[in-house]
Structures are given as C-alpha cells and as structure tokens.
Structure 1
Amino acid sequence: MLELSVRRRQGDFQMDVKLAAGPGVTALYGRSGSGKTSVINMVAGLARPDSGRISVDGRVLFDSESGIDLAPEQRRLGYVFQDHRLFPHLSVRGNLEFGRNRVPVAERTVDFHQVVEVLGVGHLLDRRPSLLSGGEKQRVAIGRALLASPRILLMDEPLASLDSARKAELLPFISALAGEFAIPILYVSHAMDEVLRLADTLVLMDQGRVAAAGPLEQLMSDPGLRPLTGRYEAGAVVSAVVAGHDTAYGVSRLTFPGGTLLVSQTDQPVGAKVRVRIHARDVAISIEPPERISVRNVLPAMVTSVTPAGSFLVDVVLSVGGTPLWVQITALAQAQLSLKSGMRVHALIKALTMARGDVAGVRR
C-alpha cells in the first residue's frame, strides 16, 4: 500500500496531492502538465516534496516533519521510464541481473526464471540492447525493475515511445505483472486504451491535484468528470464476459447484468472477463421498442438523470440492468422525447461502433 500526502511548488505550478494505491494497477490519468510524472518522481525520490509524507507498506520514505528523506536506492522501488535506459554494453541477461544483484540474497522476492518466462525474453538473453525492437527493450527494462524485488513498481508512460503495433505487443505483458508478482503498480498514462486494459483503480489528475479516484468503471461513467476523462472518451465502461463468437459474421457476444452485447469479433476467449468502452456519442435512445432496424444491440433501460451539457447537447444517464450507460443527445432530441428520470426506454448501440480497441481483457 502506497500512502502519499505531499505539497510541492514548481515555479508557478503548485502540487497538493493525496492518494492511496493498493494492490493491482493504479493509473494516474490526466492531461500533459497535470502533475502525473511529478507524483511518481516524488515517490521514487527523484523529486523532493516541500512538505508532506510518503510511505509504502508502512515504511516511511519521506516525512518533512521528521526529517526523513530516503535516497532513491534505499526505497526499494522499481521504475520503468518512457525510454528503456538499458545498459548498451550488457546483454539482456546482464541487464536483468543488474537489478537482481543490487538486492541482498535474503531479500530477493522475485524469481529470475519467472520474470524471463512471464515477459517472454528467454530467447533474447544473449543479445545486446542494440539488437532488440522497441517493445523487447521495454520488456527487458520491466524485467530489470522487477528483479530489484520492489515494494511497488512505478511506470511512467512506458508505451509512449512505441508505435501501435509494439504497444499492442507489450500490453498483455504489463497486464500480467500485477497478478503474477503481487506487486502494486503505479502507472502513468494519458492514453485511455492503456488505462482501460490495465487499471484496477483510476486516479484523475488535474492541475496538480487528485480530482477523483475510484474504480475505473465508476469514474468513466460519470458525466460530471467529462472535462477530465476527455470529450472524445466520453462514455461508459461496462464489465462483461465473452459468451461466444460468430466467425461467419465477425461478431462476438458479451454478457453483462443488462443483457447481451454484440461487438466486432474480439480475440478474447470464451469465458474471458472484459471491459467494454461504449462511447456516449454511439448510443441512441428509443421510447418505443424499435422493429426491423439494423442496430443489433437494443437494451431495455431506465433514465436515471437528464442534464444540459452546453453547446445544444444533453447528457442522459441510463441504468441498463443496474449498469450505468452514458448517452449524449441533442437538445432538439430531448425537446421531442421529453426524457425524465424514471422513464423506461431502450438503448440502441451499433455493434460496429465498438472496435477491438474498445474491448479489453482484464485479469479478474
């Protein structure tokens, strides 16, 4: 468990951050300049708070009142940067062993062979970093950090420098880390597809402060947080299970408490737990049950709130079997439909609007 309550002034920028990060992946998400990297640098000891306290598993790393400020190498934390920062003169094996050799034998909690297997770098052990792809370099960097047997793993946008193909290659490895090694991860990102795939807890940063924190599904479905989650990202995140695939039509069936969703075929196996991002702009509302239409997802729902959103838009939150679904409609549509809290309606979602990037497998 990471507990942090710190203040720090950086020029005209004032940070005042309080957060707690437990097991699994805690994602710090926000615009560039919101203070995400500064937070993990303070945890790592690379930046010093002006005041406050930082502790991991009850061990105090920094306390301004007590005068405690452990050096980075004394904090037993793993740090994975945007760039891999591997030692060019060492092989992959040498880079991995560098992290392990800095830890006394009695304090090593992470097995070398397990790291090699989970990260899939066994065939790379004798290569130098110059012969690796970008994704392979980052896997080795993650392995080196893990083999330092850290109390917590800090990851500062580790996929930011990779193209989409290398990012897709690396995401499953990062997703496996928390479950395989039981090491809490503090993950910095401004890419929602990464957060959707990885995060157990979402922390929204804004102007040097924590604006909101909680389960990802809850925060992403809150219209009030739209300025922080992003206008393009506006929508709900639904937890579901893969029920089947229809390869003849290129679709998959997902089940959740509100019913069944048809989506573009996913590569997740039957029975896998997934998260589905449903953009608010891709949902329509019908008062009456529609007939003979091309939309495949028609779900009974109840209106829970109707709120003007400016620019002639209206935010509508529906409950679909207890699962919140966020919809954006025009003010004209609202004038014609007269939606009110408690009204029974139908949510219409096109299967093809949910691409593969909107369906992500999760560990639990």
Structure 2
Amino acid sequence: MNNVISLFHRTARQGKPTLAAGQRAVPPAPAAPSVPAAPESAGLTLALTIQRGDFSLQINNTLPLQGVTALFGRSGCGKTTLLRAIAGLDRHAGATVQCGAAIWQQGSHFVPVHQRRIGMVFQESSLLPHLTVAQNLLYGFNRLAKHTPIQLQPEQVMQLLELTPLLQQAPEQLSGGQRQRVALGRALLSQPQLLLLDEPLASLDQQSRSEILPFLQRIASQTGIPMLLVSHQLDDVVKLADNLVLMQHGGIHSQGPLQQQLLQPELAAIGAMSLLHAKSSGSKHHLLQLSIGQQQLQLPAPLHADTASYSPTSYRLRIQARDVALSLTPLNDSSVSNQLQVSISGINPAPHPAETLVQLTLEGQPLQALLTKQSVERLELQIGQQVYAQIKAVALD
C-alpha cells in the first residue's frame, strides 16, 4: 500500500463511503427510488463444530446483522467453511444457525439454502453464458415475485449498480468488475435478508477491484441489507467493513467494531493501520479541510471529485501506522502541516524487534504509530503523555 491515507467520500445523502482514493469515480446513483431497509434483528447466532481431517472449526458466537461484517483471517482458518454452513450449502450434524428470529438449522430442523432468503456472491460471477445481462439479472426473479414480498425492483437494482448500458451484452463481453456487478445485481434481486460475499474481489485485477468497491459501498449504504464479507485482504476490509471478526485456527479469536479491532496485535504483522472518521469543513487551495473533533487536518482534494454532483460531509481515513511520526511539541519550522495533539494510551512490541507500536487517542478515536525503539527511548515516551502526531498532507489521497 503506497498511500499514507486512503480517502473514501461519503455523500450528505448517504451514511457510508461511495468513492475510494485512487479509484475510478463512481457518481451517486441518480435519483433512485428509496430502497426499504432490511429489518433489524438480534444477530446471527452460530453454534457448530466441524471436523475435516486435521482441521477443526469450532464456533459459538453471535455476529451482528447490521452493516458490513468482515470475516477476516489467513487462508485455511475456516472463513469459507463457516460461510457455507451459514448459507446451508453444507449441512453439519448438531449445528445451530439462527438468523434473527428465523431458525435455519437446529437438531433435525434444516432450512435448505433456497429458503433462507440469502443472496450469495462468490469469487467467480458464475453468470449463465448463454443469457444476456438482463436475462441473468431476471433469472428466477419473475417466479420469485409470485410468492415473495418484493422490496427491490429490477429498475432499482439496475440504477443502483449502473447496469442499464450493459443489459443487452453477453457475459463474455464484460470486464471482470462488470461481471461481478451483474452477480451482485442478481443476488439483490433474490430479495435477500442477508448478503454473503465470499472473496468477491479475489479474482479481479487492481483496476477491476477499484471499479467494484464503490458499488459494494453503495449497496451497504442504500439497501440496509446486512452483509457478511469473507476476505483475507485487510485493505478491502478497511474500505468496506463496519465490524471485523478475526478468525484463527478454526475459531473466532475476537470480534467487534472495525476501528477497535484494528488495534489487535495479530494484525500488526500484516500492517498496523488505523481508521479515523472526519467531517468536512470546506476546501481551500485544492486542499480538503477536515475536522476530527476540535482539530483540523488537510489533504489534497481528489481530482476526480465532482463537487457539482454531491457534497461530501464525512470521510473515512485509513492511516498506516508506519506513516505517523510523533513529536513532543508542534514543529513550527516543518513542512508537515497536519500536527494533531494526541495522548499515548499504550506502548507495545511490534513484529520487528527494533520497532515499537505506540497506541494513541485522537479526539476519542484510536490512532497507531510505528516507531523505532530507539526513538521511543530517546523521546522518553510514556502512557498518558500528550504528544503531536505528524501526518504529511501531500502524502494523502
């Protein structure tokens, strides 16, 4: 990851980001009819034990059914196995799967996958090659509409995912990102109460990944359908998720809001980073002026931002710990314009023996800085101390 901070715009109309730094601009869906939100529920209750050879998956947890929840962990930790059990693709004796008030599996009771009101998207789009985009989207929809309450109409989904120009094309004529957008549309038209996404970006090149991410963000913000995302790419998780479930060795190691979960020491080996929420306070000299609590920071405005189309009011900032420096006092004779007062909340070992991970609090939000042990000792940093976090504006996208 080359950027210090990746910036994700949020529109005044939407509660989730719709544009990622370095990605192709995707303007908000034009005047789409409102999409009814999925009903809130107590959560997704899971109790299961799966043994396959030397691998054992043991889960006894309740996952949130709000926003985007990411199942994150190394390959082989059990993410996809768990997702398939939730979907009902695999049946395991003794398992309990309950989605809100709906019991999908318990004892001898088992609801088959086609009755679970789940939309699924996998690494491969699995579109029917002999059908057009329109036919793939509507495959099964008309039959479903006869006996299922319809909350998402085809026109809404086509508008949401900007599929109208593609309707008469065959799948082989589409890019990887376009195929995944059609797969997402088909999943939404199944009228799901829950979306399951199994590595939906894994088979895409970088450009296609950049194209599809804003649409996933748009789905999360405009439909209200809870999403369960399987990924082993922390970058994708930080761009999309509200909650993170960290899986290790066939179990759930920890779970909670993404901002707090990023502090887990297990993630430091991948690349310690932080997620900050900021509000817009205008722009000047092609620089966005943002506020975090009572403090201000600035960064270059994205060149592709169409300010005539929307007015972002809040932002989601991803900051790598290695790109945060600390000083004991503000640096007046420095080119670094972003100097934010923070307090030290923790000093912990880092994966490299020469480094230290310093936990900070910025206006109530967690921030991390990766420093050398030598610097920590030279500055005599201590928990509770007030210091200044230095972040270069020109490094922000």
Partner of 1:141, secondary structure, is: helix
Tell me how far 1:102 sits from its aligned partner: 4.5
Alpha carbons of 1:219 and 1:159: their partners in 2 closer, same or farther (altered >3 Å)?
A: same
Distance 2:343 2:222 in 1: 40
Decide whether the 8 Å contact of 1:88 with 1:128 is kept in 2: yes
Change (3 A) 1:148 1:218: same
Q: Do residues 71 (structure 1) and 112 (structure 2) align?
A: yes
For 2:292, the equivalent position in structure 1 comes to 256
Choose which of 315, 333, 336 in structure 1 pairs with 2:375: 333
Post-superposition offset of 1:287: 1.3
Residues 1:234 and 2:276 are matched in the alignment: no
Aligned-partner Cα distance in 2 for 1:237–1:261: 15
- Cα distance per residue 1:298-351 (max 9 Å; x no partner): 111222222333602222212222222211221211221111122221111122
C-alpha separation between the residues in 1 aligned to 2:248 and 2:299?
A: 33
Match of 1:21 in 2: 64
CA separation of 1:50 and 1:190: change in aligned 2, threshold 3 A: same
Q: Which residue of 2 aligns with 1:95?
A: 136
Cα deviations across residues 50-105 of structure 1 (Å, max 9, x unaligned)? 43310123111111xx2122222222211101001001111111111114134242
Letter in 2 for 1:302: S
What per-residue deviation string (whole Å, max 9, x for no partner) do you get for residues 115-165 of structure 1? 111011112222211111111111111111111111211111111111111
Gaps of 5+ in 1: 357-364
Write the letter of the residue equivalent to 2:144. V
Q: Give the aligned partner of residue 281 of structure 2.
A: 243
Q: Structure 2 matches for 1:1-364, cutoff 5 A?
A: 1-17=43-59, 18-63=61-106, 66-107=107-148, 108-220=150-262, 222=263, 225-227=264-266, 229-246=267-284, 248=286, 251-257=287-293, 259-266=295-302, 270-309=311-350, 311-354=353-396, 356=397
Provide the C-alpha distance between the structure 2 equivalents of 1:351 and 1:160, rounded to a whole number of angstroms.
31
Report if aligned partners of 1:9, 1:50 keep a CA contact under 8 Å in 2.
Answer: no
CA distance in 1, matches of 2:199, 2:339: 38
> Which letter does structure 1 place at the counterpart of 2:329?
E
3-state SS of the aligned residue for 1:303?
strand
What one-letter code is carried by the residue in structure 1 that aligns with 2:281?
A
Query: What number of residue pairs does the alignment pair up?
Result: 347
Counterpart of 2:316, as a letter, is R
Cα distance in 1 for residues equivalent to 2:147 and 2:96: 29
In the alignment, is the contact (CA less than 8 A) between 2:344 and 2:382 conserved in 1?
yes
Q: 1:11 to 1:272 in 2, by over 3 A?
A: farther
CA distance in 2, matches of 1:331, 1:61: 52
**Whole-Å Cα distance in 2 between the matches of residues 331 and 278 of structure 1?**
21
Once residues 331 and 286 of structure 1 are traced to their aligned partners in structure 2, the CA distance between those partners, rounded to angstroms, is 15
What SS class does the counterpart of residue 27 from structure 1 fall into? strand
Q: Distance in 2 between matches of 1:338 and 1:49?
A: 55
Mapped partners of 1:159, 1:88: distance in 2? 20
Q: Decide which moves more: 264-273 or 84-93.
A: 264-273
Partners of 2:241 and 2:368 in 1: CA distance:
20
Q: Percent identity?
A: 37
